[in-house]
């Protein structure tokens, strides 16, 4: 699961960390989202979609009276009262350390996880153990980091072994493969009709 998430998240969320020499923090350009909550010592994500999860969240956060509150007792009611729900939940979660509230939410079957910064994600023990981020050296680029393909198969392993082609890098090869002569290709390049790398 972490590999699939990382593979999907990388192009948008981690693009600022692709080139090792030119790291940028993309978070300053993003807004906040639902289900992200501040704790005493960091941020977490947690959400209650089902009624069972809603009741579990109330128990985990010591908000048992809200289990039968008509504003929050069903998924539809929680959806109809989002701002009030998020405000109450945020205030309750802010009273806890991240590890403690995550443990309580997990024990109650509420989907939750720590919210890691991009740099924390790069150093996370599961990401390291899975070798989820490949570090490759490419001419003209230096060290390039990229999410490893998430789907891994014993007989047909996937890997990244080179960067995307540069503009015109394979033009000659492709045109020759289609039967065009080297002279024609050079003539077209000289006339500016095709680009060659």
What local confidence, expressed as pLDDT, does residue 45 receive? 93
CATH number, domain with residue 15: 3.30.1540.10
Average pLDDT per 10 consecutive residues for the chain, totaling 197 residues: 76 73 64 74 91 95 95 86 89 97 97 90 90 86 86 86 84 95 93 89
Residue 176, CA atoms < 13 Å, CB-side half-sphere: 8
Q: What are phi and psi of 170, to 5 degrees?
A: -110, 15
**Strand 43-46 versus strand 112-114 pairing type:** antiparallel
Q: Are 43 and 115 in contact (CB under 8 A)?
A: yes
- For residues 117 and 114, give the distance between their C-alpha atoms in angstroms, rounded to a whole number: 10
Same-domain status, 109 and 173 = no
- For residues 42 and 40, give the distance between their C-alpha atoms in angstroms, rounded to a whole number: 6
Domain that holds residue 94: 2-119
What local confidence, expressed as pLDDT, does residue 149 receive? 86
Last residue of a domain, one of 64, 98, 119: 119
Is position 184 within any domain? yes
The span from the first CA to the last CA of the chain, in angstroms, equals 39
Last residue of a domain, one of 119, 138, 156: 119
- For residues 15 and 9, give the distance between their C-alpha atoms in angstroms, rounded to a whole number: 9
Same-domain status, 100 and 179 = no
Domain count, the chain: 2
Whole-number Cα distances in Å, 92 to 54, 63, 73, 85, 95: 14, 8, 17, 11, 6
Q: Does pTM surpass 0.75?
A: no
Q: Are 133 and 147 in contact (CB under 8 A)?
A: yes
Is position 140 within any domain? no
What local confidence, expressed as pLDDT, does residue 33 receive? 45
Is position 131 within any domain? no
What local confidence, expressed as pLDDT, does residue 28 receive? 52
- For residues 43 and 30, give the distance between their C-alpha atoms in angstroms, rounded to a whole number: 16
What local confidence, expressed as pLDDT, does residue 27 receive? 58
**Strand 133-138 versus strand 112-114 pairing type:** unpaired
Is position 153 within any domain? no
What local confidence, expressed as pLDDT, does residue 30 receive? 45
Q: Are 47 and 35 in contact (CB under 8 A)?
A: yes
Tokens of 46: 């947690």
Tokens of 2: 């972490």
Same-domain status, 80 and 169 = no
């Amino acid at each position: 699961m972490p590999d699939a998430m990382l593979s999907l998240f990388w192009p948008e969320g981690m693009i600022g960390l692709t080139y090792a020499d030119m790291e940028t923090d993309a978070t300053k350009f993003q807004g906040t989202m639902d289900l992200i909550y501040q704790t005493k010592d960091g941020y977490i994500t947690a959400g209650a979609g089902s009624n069972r999860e809603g009741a579990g969240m109330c128990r985990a956060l010591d908000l048992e009276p809200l289990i039968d509150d008509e504003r929050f007792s069903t998924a539809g009611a929680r959806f109809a009262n989002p701002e009030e729900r998020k405000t109450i939940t945020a205030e309750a979660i802010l009273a806890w350390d991240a590890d403690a509230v995550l443990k309580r939410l997990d024990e109650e079957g509420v989907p939750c996880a720590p919210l890691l910064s991009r740099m924390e994600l790069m150093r996370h023990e599961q990401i390291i153990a899975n070798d989820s981020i490949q570090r490759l050296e490419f001419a003209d680029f230096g060290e390039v980091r990229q999410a490893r393909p998430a789907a891994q198969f014993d007989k047909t392993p996937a890997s990244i072994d080179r960067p995307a082609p540069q503009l015109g890098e394979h033009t000659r090869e492709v045109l020759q493969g289609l039967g065009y002569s080297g002279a024609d290709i050079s003539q077209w390049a000289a006339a500016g009709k095709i680009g060659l790398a």
